[in-house]
Amino acid sequence: YTWAKKFKGLMGHETPSVLAGKLIDILRNENNPEGLFLHPVTKQRQHLCFTGGEPLMASGQFATVGIYEELERQGNLPSSMTFETNGTQKVREPFAEWIKRIKEEVFFSCSPKLFTVSGEEAKKAITPEVVGEYADLSNKGQLKFVVGSEQRQWDEMESVVEKYKAQGVDWPIWVMPVGAREEEQS
């Protein structure tokens, strides 16, 4: 099983090893010439966040495992990892097994899209059973909703939160205001 074959065409032509190298290059500076996941002053291992597009698409899940394995091979692992996701992508087996195997904390920051705010159909955007899979893999996570001033948006959020709780997702709930210009906000 080679990652290079798995990813040809999925992640451009870059293998997880190449992507790990790019992460290391980003970390390199005068205080960290090796590009280690270490804070330059405290020497504590740093956090790694996977964000999007959608990092939990099948190709992203496979790439994450490969990137981690390359960083592990180099002895350069982050202390923990966050996946910023809309919570609609089912967990694939290699990814699930990887989360169960590693020692580092995995945190899921899930931002389901409410119909009353985004216009996305609930049957595609609200998938408590999928996020329940995430919660089964890690008890570390949050649900984050974008909500405006309309009562129907808040009502939908409350209803959706209950659906996630019914699936065993008992994470903190965060609410963000709808982004707008200053005139629209006031």
pTM over 0.85? The answer is yes
CA distances from 78 to 27, 45, 81 (A): 11, 6, 7
The helix/strand/coil state of 148 is: coil
Give per-residue pLDDT as tens, 147-182.
999 999 999 999 999 999 999 999 999 999 998 777
Q: Where are the beta strands (DSSP E) in the chain?
A: 47-50, 80-85, 105-110, 141-147, 173-177
pLDDT per residue as tens digits for the range 50-92:
998 899 999 999 999 999 999 999 999 999 999 999 999 999 9
